[in-house]
Structures are given as structure tokens and as C-alpha cells.
Amino acid sequence: MAKPDNRADNVEHLQKNINHTIENIEEAEAYLDEHAEEISPEEQQQIESKNDRRRESLAAFRSEIKDEANEQNEE
């Protein structure tokens, strides 16, 4: 028998992912600030590109939270 789709804590999980992603962005930016002279331009670009992707993920997480909130309000 299939388990019922329990989405009650989806918003909580999404918020945890948002918080974790923000922490990763901040850590990467701090790393760049502290070690900019020590790392290659290629590595700097890789870190900046990864942060760009993280920011895109944040937007997707936030959109998904809005969708979940709307679904919960409809129930």
C-alpha cells in the first residue's frame, strides 16, 4: 500500500534549505574576501558561479514555499 502524500512539513523543509543555502553563500563570500589574493581567477569565477546558482535556487525555494502556502490555504 502506498504511503499517503503528507506535505504538512514541506514549508519547514524548504525553509531549512533556504537557510542552509544562504549560509553557504555567505561562507563562500567570506572565503573570497579573505583569500582573494591567494586563489586563481578561475577558482574565484567558479565560486562566484556557484553562488549565482545558489541564488537561483533560493528564488525557486521561495516560489515553492508560496505554492505550498497557497495549497494549504485552499484546503
Domain range list for the chain: 50-75
**Residue-by-residue pLDDT tens, the chain, 75 positions:** 666 666 668 889 999 999 999 999 999 999 999 999 999 999 999 999 999 999 999 999 999 999 988 877 776
SS (H, E, C) 41-69: HHHHHHHHHHHHHHHHHHHHHHHHHHHHH
Q: What is the pLDDT of residue 69?
A: 81
The three cell numbers locating residue 65 = 514555499
Question: Which residue matches cell numbers 516560489?
Answer: 63
